[in-house]
């Protein structure tokens, strides 16, 4: 299984809603990532988890709250988002972080989020 899955595929939410994005992988990877991608732009790193611990937070607003319940699962909790947060949210995973520059990141298909 060389797949990263993400649910839901599409999400429309109001600015007062609370929702969650889910990401799953069963490749035994110990590093997991959240990226935000606007149309025709490169992915922007948001968070990195290494061995279920948050290792990088790219100064993301607190209305985005990541969670890594176990080594296979990564969540992104959303609350009080703004219309400018509308984007494709990508999850990725890789074998590990420590000394592993060559490790390929496997990307999920993304969740297309629209904030009204």
Partner 1 sequence: AQTVTQSQPEMSVQEAETVTLSCTYDTSENNYYLFWYKQPPSRQMILVIRQEAYKQQNATENRFSVNFQKAAKSFSLKISDSQLGDTAMYFCAFRGPGNKLVFGAGTILRVKS
Q: Is 45 in the site for partner 1 (CB under 8 A)?
A: yes
Pairing of strands 53-57, 44-50: antiparallel
Closest Cα partner for 4 from 105, 113, 103, 100?
A: 105
Q: Which phi and psi (to 5°) does residue 96 adopt?
A: -170, 180
**Interface with partner 1 by CB under 8 A: which range of 11-19, 20-28, 69-77, 108-116?**
108-116
Question: Restricting to residues 71-90, which ones interact with partner 1 according to CB under 8 A?
Answer: 90
Residue ranges binding partner 1 (CB under 8 A) = 4, 40-43, 45, 48, 56, 90, 97, 100-102, 104-105, 107-110
């Amino acid at each position: 299984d060389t797949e990263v899955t993400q649910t839901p595929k599409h999400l429309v939410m109001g600015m007062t809603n609370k929702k969650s994005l889910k990401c799953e992988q069963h490749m035994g990877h110990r590093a997991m990532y959240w990226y935000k991608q606007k149309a025709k732009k490169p992915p922007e790193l948001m968070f990195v988890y290494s061995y279920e611990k948050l290792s990088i937070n790219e100064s993301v607003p607190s209305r985005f709250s990541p969670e890594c319940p176990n080594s296979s699962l990564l969540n992104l909790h959303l609350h009080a988002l703004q219309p400018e947060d509308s984007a494709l949210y990508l999850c990725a995973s890789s074998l590990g972080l420590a000394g592993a520059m060559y490790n390929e990141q496997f990307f999920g298909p993304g969740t297309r989020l629209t904030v009204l």
